[in-house]
Amino acid sequence: MNKRERILERAAVLLTLATLIGVPVTVFSYQRHRVAREAAGAQVIELYATGQAGVWTQESLRAWDSFFRHPEKRAIRIKAGVPVLFRLTSVDVHHSFSIPQLRVPPQDVTPGRWTEIRLEPQEPGSYTVLCYTVCGAKHAFMDAELQFF
């Protein structure tokens, strides 16, 4: 192998290894940086809406686990006195997110897309999230409790 071939071969190997490591690192880093930039100091609450289970859940429902996970209804605990950024998505059908007690009007939550809702700092207390779009058999039971502490 002459020098030129050696350089080419090493460059190819390095490029390949850089890809295998670089692609995941870049993707996840960019996501973290982007969310932090969007939050601008607010606390980020990510909620996944699932019509099949009829819940708003903080459990991350990704492509690899959304079909076998059965999220349960749990209270969503949020720090009071700090701005909140809700990031909402649906993993199946259309939903609509609203917190009537806080005058948050219904906002579409579309499958595969993210809806962001900013909330000003709140006093400690408990509020209810409701779904305003018929999303399935469990639509009537699709609520969530926000606990500001």
- Does position 37 interact with another protein (CB under 8 A)? The reply is no
Q: Contact with another protein (CB under 8 A): which of 89, 106, 134, 145?
A: 89
Q: Is 3 in the site for another protein (CB under 8 A)?
A: no
23-41 in b/e burial notation, b at 16+ Cβ within 10 A? eeeeeeeeeeeeeeeebee
90 binds another protein (CB under 8 A): yes
Q: Which two tokens stand for residue 120?
A: 């000003």
Give the shortest CB-112-to-another protein separation in angstroms: 3
Q: Which residue of 81, 100, 105, 111 would you call a contact of another protein, by CB under 8 A?
A: 111
**Which residue, chain included where needed, has tokens 């058999």?**
137
Residue 116 lies near another protein (rule: CB under 8 A) = yes
Nearer to another protein, 66 or 132 (CB): 66
Single-letter amino acid, residue 72: E
Does residue 33 interact with another protein by CB under 8 A? no
Paired residues of 49 in beta bridges: 56, 90
What are the distances in angstroms from CA 109 to CA 18, 33, 115, 116? 37, 23, 6, 9
In the set 53, 76, 91, 99, which binds another protein (CB under 8 A)? 91
The per-type count for the chain, helices as H runs and strands as E runs, is 1, 9
- Sole binder of another protein in the list 47, 49, 55, 61 (CB under 8 A): 61
Q: Which C-beta is closer to another protein: that of 81 or that of 111?
A: 111
